[in-house]
Amino acid sequence: MSGEAINILLVEDNPDHAELVKRGLQSNNVANNVFHVEDGESALEFVFQRGPYVGAKRPHLILLDLRLPRIDGLEVLKALKSNEDSKRIPVVILTTSDAEMDIARAYDYHANSYMVKPVNFEKFKELTKTLGFYWFVWNKQPENQ
């Protein structure tokens, strides 16, 4: 990312889970900017800079829960990956579901990764550290995504 601020869009309807993700990322110095929305409709508005999110910063990574109000996470994923402007933004499914059907559908809709949230904070912190190093240090992405 060549020194620029890292923008992560966290799409999570559970405030406790959202706080765990944010604290985990911050404690590992992974993210400069974490933007949190609570439903699928707001996620799409944020990425496509509509409604209250006109002028929102483009995310470098989206952490997406599956079970969301208004628009389900899989539908959000499908919309993001079928749009030319957003299809290259990495989307990591971060959910409590380890159901094979959810995993398969997420990859069918071109999720970049699928992670099941651990319930233990220390394990959650380790997950966010690994996630951050992978996506922002080791993984290479096109400059103009």
Domain membership flag for residue 1: no
Domain membership flag for residue 2: no
68, 97 Cβ separation under 8 angstroms: no
Residue with tokens 């094979």: 100
Range of the structural domain that residue 35 is part of: 7-137
- Using the predicted structure, report yes or no on whether residue 31 has a pLDDT greater than 70: no
Render pLDDT for 53-75 as a digit per residue (tens, 0 to 9).
Answer: 999 999 999 999 999 999 999 99
Mean pLDDT of 40-49: 98
What is the pLDDT confidence band of residue 27, given thresholds at 50, 70 and 90? confident
Domain membership flag for residue 77: yes
Query: Integer distance in angstroms from the first to the last C-alpha of the chain?
Result: 11
pLDDT at 144: 55
pLDDT at 2: 52
Domain membership flag for residue 145: no
What's the total number of domains in the chain?
1
Mean pLDDT of 19-48: 87
Mean pLDDT of the chain: 88
DSSP at 61: E
Tell me the two tokens of residue 142. Answer: 């096109």
What is the pLDDT confidence band of residue 134, given thresholds at 50, 70 and 90? confident
Mean pLDDT of 36-40: 98
Domain membership flag for residue 96: yes
Share of the chain above pLDDT 70, in %: 90
Q: In Å, how far from its chain's centre is CA 52?
A: 19
The CA-atom distances, in angstroms, between 35 and each of 83, 96, 138 are: 21, 20, 23
Residue with tokens 């400059």: 143
Where residue 63 sits, what CATH number does that domain have?
A: 3.40.50.2300
Q: Which residue has the higher pLDDT, 94 or 20?
A: 94
d(CA 92, CA 106): 9
- Which amino acid appears at position 9 of this protein? L
Tell me the two tokens of residue 49. Answer: 């800079």
Domain membership flag for residue 32: yes
Residue 144 sits at φ, ψ, to 5 deg, of -105, 70
